[in-house]
Amino acid sequence: MRIKSHTAAPAAAFALGIFFAVPGSVATNTVVSTVAPLVAAAIGNLGFMSPAMGEPAALTKKQSDALNTYNNARSNFESILGQRRAQINSNQRLPNLPGQALYLARNNMMSAYKDLTDALPSRIGRPNKYGIPPAYFSADNEPLLDEYRRLFDLMQAPPANAQNSDTPFKDVVDLGTAIARARGLDAANAEAAGRISLGLFFAETNGNQNIGNARSNKYKGSLQTGVPEDQNGRRKWAAIKKSIAAFDPALNARDDKEEARAGNQDHRYNHWTAVRDGLMNAHADIFPQVPAIVKKLPDPIDQMKLFELIQIIPSPTRSALGSRNLVDYRISDPKIMAYLRNNSVFTFGQADRAKTSATYREILDAMWLFNEKFERALSKFDEIKKQSKG
């Protein structure tokens, strides 16, 4: 998850996400662990490597500076994790946007590690369970990232009045597929639109419904939209509702039920209406291009990444889709590059941050922090298909 910037054009709000607002205090009676034991366990493996492990006996000043910067960034990340955990466990009032400091500290640690491995390639270690390129993240830091995720799960917890679904993943697929059919797609391409929609749900919320956002007071719910985007999506849904009722009366009946259930509450905290309105706001207009997108980007994960870019940088992505060569379309606007960096693309390390332009192929490749989420979305989509056939 992440904070989005939408100055470029109106769009639905989102990874890496990609983050959430929480009440003044967070109930944590179900979580009593502290970060200290796992940090201590991690530190033992994170220090300076001996020459026997492949590192030179004497470091250059550049290498030594990179090592010191990394050690300091890692220590700072540990410190902020511990501080936030202590606040939550003692039911202290959290600061506004409590996830922002965690997010920046994580990014600084990963950036410093990338600078270290650029200076000392011998520090590139084994693969990690998060699928992050080893040049950007040491597997020894997995416990820190585990705690990072646990803290966000607490800080982004849905409000007490949130209206959950018993079938949240299927809902996303069904809505994406129905919207695509209403926009004129055949069965195969509508299915692709449903699969892409599920990817967006994982990118925005890690597959969690009705969450808040610890890095923003604006974006909330299962597709991380702001109030204007949600209202725009509701208006667009009303315009196609009759056509959907004609070919899928069961889905229309479910929609009537959920609309009545949501009533006058914030529709972003009813999973069904939040997904429906989020997809209608930003993505329904792009669904007619799914056949061309699938042809240009046959990898399903690339397709999901492209639709996530409609969330992050909507106007340039629409321009790229309208160009003759999508993957070679180049972004050079400093503001757009800044939006990408704010969403964990070209964020980590001096070399990445120095980039002043990038093609869409380069942008898609740089979205590796989304890979794990989209892979889980694909797995869940396959499960849903098998259950439907059964």
**332 in Cβ contact with 99 (< 8 Å):** no
- pLDDT of residue 174 exceeding 90, the answer is yes
> Which of 248, 256, 278, 250 has its CA nearest to residue 187?
248
- pLDDT of residue 3 exceeding 70, the answer is no
- pLDDT of residue 56 exceeding 90, the answer is no
How far is 302 from 217, CA to CA, in rounded Å? Answer: 30
Q: Which helix (H) or strand (E) holds 299?
A: none
pLDDT at residue 388, as a whole number: 87
Least confident interval from 23-27, 130-134, 136-140: 23-27
Percent of the chain residues past pLDDT 70, beyond the cut: 85
**143 in Cβ contact with 157 (< 8 Å):** no
Cα 189 to the center of its chain, rounded Å: 24
Spell out a b/e string for 4-38, using b for 16 or more CB atoms within 10 Å of the CB, else e.
bbbebeebbbbbbbbbbbbeeebeeeeeeeebeeb
HSE at residue 164, side-chain half, CA atoms within 13 A, is 10
pLDDT at residue 18, as a whole number: 40
Contacting residues for 239 by C-beta, under 8 A, at least 6 apart: none
Hey, is 187 helix, strand or coil?
helix
pTM: 0.86
Q: Indicate the average pLDDT of the chain.
A: 89
**347 in Cβ contact with 107 (< 8 Å):** yes
pLDDT band at residue 268 using 50, 70 and 90 as cut-offs: very high
- pLDDT of residue 361 exceeding 50, the answer is yes
- pLDDT of residue 92 exceeding 50, the answer is yes
Q: What is the mean pLDDT of residues 355-363?
A: 98
Percent of the chain residues past pLDDT 90, beyond the cut: 84
How far is 364 from 385, CA to CA, in rounded Å? Answer: 27
Q: What is the pLDDT of residues 297-312, one digit of tens each?
A: 999 999 999 999 999 9
Q: What is the mean pLDDT of residues 209-220?
A: 97
Contacting residues for 208 by C-beta, under 8 A, at least 6 apart: 153, 156, 222
Hey, is 285 helix, strand or coil?
coil
DSSP letters along 190-254, please? HHHHHHHHHHHHHHHHTT-SS---TT-SS-BTTTTB-HHHHHHHHHHHHHHHHHHHHH-HHHHHH
pLDDT at residue 57, as a whole number: 67
How far is 352 from 354, CA to CA, in rounded Å? Answer: 5
Cβ neighbours of 215 (radius 10 Å): 27
Q: Which helix (H) or strand (E) holds 330?
A: strand 330-331
pLDDT at residue 55, as a whole number: 59
> Which of 124, 128, 126 has its CA nearest to residue 113?
124
Q: Could you tell me where the DSSP H helices lie in 4-141?
A: 35-43, 61-89, 98-119
Q: What is the mean pLDDT of residues 147-170?
A: 97
Q: What is the mean pLDDT of residues 47-69?
A: 73
- pLDDT of residue 44 exceeding 50, the answer is no
